[in-house]
Amino acid sequence: MSFSISKLFRPALGILIASLSLGLFVGAAHTREPVVGKFAWESCQVESAPTARCGGIVLPRDYSRPNGRTVFLAAARVPATGVKRGTLFFNPGGPGSSGVQQVLGGIASDLPASVRRNFDFISWDPRGIGQSRPVIGGCRAVAERPSPLPATGFPTRSQWLSLLSQDRSDNRQVGLQCLRRNLAIAPHMGTNNVVRDLEMMRRAVGDRRLTFWGASYGSRIGYVYALRYPKRLRAILLDGPVDPQRGYREFARTRNQATDRALKVMATPQVRPAFAAEILATRDDLRVNGPVTEEGATLTQWIFEGFVAGKTFAQVQWADIQEVIDGIKEFRAAEGPTEEALETIREAIEEVEEQSPFYPGIANGIAGDRGTSDNFTNRIINYLDYADSNIPSGVATRIFLNNVRNYPFAAYLSGPSMLSVSAGISSLKPDPVPLTRAPRFARIARRVENVLISGSTGDGATPAPWTAQMAASFPRAGLVRFNGWQHVNWTSVESTCVNDPITNFILTGRKPSPLRLPLCPFSPPGPPAVP
Neighbours of 277 (CB within 10 A): 13
Q: Residues 329, 331, 333, CA angle at the centre, nearest 5°?
A: 70
Return per-residue pLDDT of the chain as tens, 531 residues: 233 444 454 433 333 334 434 444 444 444 455 678 999 999 998 999 999 999 999 999 999 999 999 999 999 999 999 999 999 999 999 999 999 999 999 999 989 999 999 999 999 999 999 999 999 999 999 988 888 999 999 999 999 999 999 999 999 999 999 999 999 999 999 999 999 999 999 999 999 999 999 999 999 999 999 999 999 999 999 999 999 999 999 999 999 899 999 999 999 999 999 999 999 999 999 999 999 987 777 899 999 999 999 998 899 999 999 999 999 999 898 887 888 888 999 999 999 888 887 777 788 888 888 889 999 999 999 999 999 999 999 999 999 999 999 998 876 676 788 899 999 999 999 999 999 999 999 999 999 999 999 999 999 999 999 999 999 999 999 999 999 999 999 999 889 999 999 999 999 999 998 777 789 999 988 544 333
Say how far residue 163 (Cα) sits from the centre of its chain.
24
The C-alpha atoms of residue 21 and residue 17 are separated, in whole angstroms, by 6
Determine the pLDDT at residue 181. Answer: 97
Q: Residues 350, 355, 360, CA angle at the centre, nearest 5°?
A: 145
The DSSP symbol for 244 reads S
> Closest Cα to residue 218, out of 374, 61, 29, 92?
92
Backbone CA torsion sign across 13, 15, 18, 20? negative
Contact call for residues 227 and 218 (beta carbons, < 8 A): no
The C-alpha atoms of residue 11 and residue 46 are separated, in whole angstroms, by 13
The DSSP result for 260-312, as a single string, is HHHHHHHTSTTS-HHHHHHHHHHHHHHHHH--EEETTEEE-HHHHHHHHHHTT
Determine the pLDDT at residue 80. Answer: 98
Determine the pLDDT at residue 529. Answer: 37
Determine the pLDDT at residue 200. Answer: 98
Cite the DSSP H helix spans in 189-270. Answer: 191-205, 218-228, 248-255, 258-266
> Using CB atoms within 10 A of its CB, is residue 439 exposed (0-12), middle (13-18) or buried (19+)?
exposed
Phi and psi torsions of 480, nearest 5°: -125, 115
Helix (H) or strand (E) holding 7: helix 5-8
Over the stretch 429-462, which tens digit does the pLDDT of each residue have?
A: 999 999 999 999 999 999 999 999 999 999 999 9
Over the stretch 195-208, which tens digit does the pLDDT of each residue have?
A: 999 999 999 999 99
Q: Which residues contact 515 (CB under 8 A, 6 or more apart)?
A: none
The C-alpha atoms of residue 333 and residue 292 are separated, in whole angstroms, by 11
> Closest Cα to residue 347, out of 405, 293, 307, 407?
307
The DSSP result for 474-528, as a single string, is -TTSEEEEESSS-SS-TTTSS-HHHHHHHHHHHHH-PPPPTTS-SSBPP--S-PP
Q: Residues 286, 292, 295, CA angle at the centre, nearest 5°?
A: 165
The DSSP result for 96-133, as a single string, is T--HHHHHHTTTGGGS-HHHHHHEEEEEE--TBSTTSB
